[in-house]
Amino acid sequence: MRYAAALTALLSFTACSPEPAAPGEANAGKPKAAKSSGKDKARAGKAVACRVERFEKARLTVCIADPAHHRIAMALGPKGAPEGARPYRHLALLAASRPPDAPPVAFAMNGGMFDEDGQPIGYYVEDGARLQKLNRSEGPGNFHMLPNGVFYGTGQVWAVSTTDDFADRVTERPDFATQSGPMLVIDGRLHPEIAADGVSTNIRNGVGVGKDGRAYFVISEAPLSFGKFARYFRDVLKVPNALYLDGKVSSLWDPAHGRLDNMAPLGPLIVVEQSGKGTP
């Protein structure tokens, strides 16, 4: 029943919801988004994890997950659903399906590439259970623009690694993980195949983990090149490693600012919850 109600809500968002403004600015160039409910805003309280920045004339929203205040988890579909159940596919369904006693969501974002059914095409771990093995095959598309990588973590320790480094160094299954590609930044250097400003532009999102242990999630507010997007992680956030999560379908749920993107169907979702250890 909850899933059916969530689907009804999603269709309602699609039909009639206006586009909300990004924090502090008009939301120019961004596909339409649905509004979070007042309940979501109230639960978020005063904790604001996301902000808008400008870099090389591009507008980017950066959301910060702090190990001292947040917990990161993956979400593909409703917990407890039978095997083979449909993934959420939309952040609105995730939002509508969360139980009343769930921890407040600081923000959530699409997280990793997927097939036509919304299933991950690379390594995927949710709540310590591996649902997809590590994908080290070659092929076309951004995922196979090697090296690709894995965003993963156990407890409050999070990391981004190339797929090869992950395979060589990680010996215990993490609490969460998602594989995507390509890597944007590798040991402080841009991916060797990413052009400085290529002709391909898209709405894009990615993640990097800083030396301070915080995870930086970034989504562009208008189409931009791979090179510009990667430079933001290297030059502004100064993360040693950063991973591309997806493009064109990139979406964000930011309850504190009333933002709930409702675009093309998604696959794996990254959920950042407030951990109850204090307000950031």
Dihedral, 39, 45, 50, 53 alpha carbons, nearest 10 = 110
Single out the residue of 57, 62, 9 nearest to residue 29, CA to CA. Answer: 57
Instruction: Enter the tokens of residue 211.
Output: 């030396």
Q: Is 140 domain-assigned?
A: yes
Q: Tell me if 207 sits within 8 A of 160, measured CB to CB.
A: yes
Q: Is 30 domain-assigned?
A: yes
Averaged pLDDT in 10-residue chunks for the chain of 280 residues: 46 38 36 43 59 96 97 90 76 93 96 92 96 91 87 97 97 97 96 86 96 97 95 97 95 97 93 75
Q: Per the structure, how many domains does the chain have?
A: 1
Q: Is 20 domain-assigned?
A: yes
User: At which residue do the structure tokens 């997927």 appear?
Assistant: 114
Residue 14, pLDDT score: 40
Residue 2, pLDDT score: 47
| pTM exceeds cut of 0.75 | yes
| Spatial distance between the Cα atoms of 16 and 26, rounded to a whole number of angstroms | 19
Residue 56, pLDDT score: 95
Q: Alpha helices, DSSP H only, in the chain?
A: 2-16, 38-44, 91-97, 163-169, 226-231
Q: Is 74 domain-assigned?
A: yes
Q: Is 174 domain-assigned?
A: yes
Phi first, then psi: what are they for 242, rounded to 5°?
-140, 150
Half-sphere exposure of 185 (CA within 13 A, CB side): 26
Q: Is 55 domain-assigned?
A: yes
| Spatial distance between the Cα atoms of 31 and 17, rounded to a whole number of angstroms | 12
Q: Is 279 domain-assigned?
A: no
In 3-state terms the chain splits into helix, strand, coil percentages (rounded to 5) of: 20, 35, 45
Q: Is 280 domain-assigned?
A: no
Written in H, E and C, the secondary structure of 4-33 is HHHHHHHHHHHHHCCCCCECCECCCCCCCE
Q: Tell me if 68 sits within 8 A of 280, measured CB to CB.
A: yes
What is the domain range of residue 8? 2-274
Single out the residue of 120, 209, 211 nearest to residue 158, CA to CA. Answer: 209
Q: Alpha helices, DSSP H only, in 116-155?
A: none
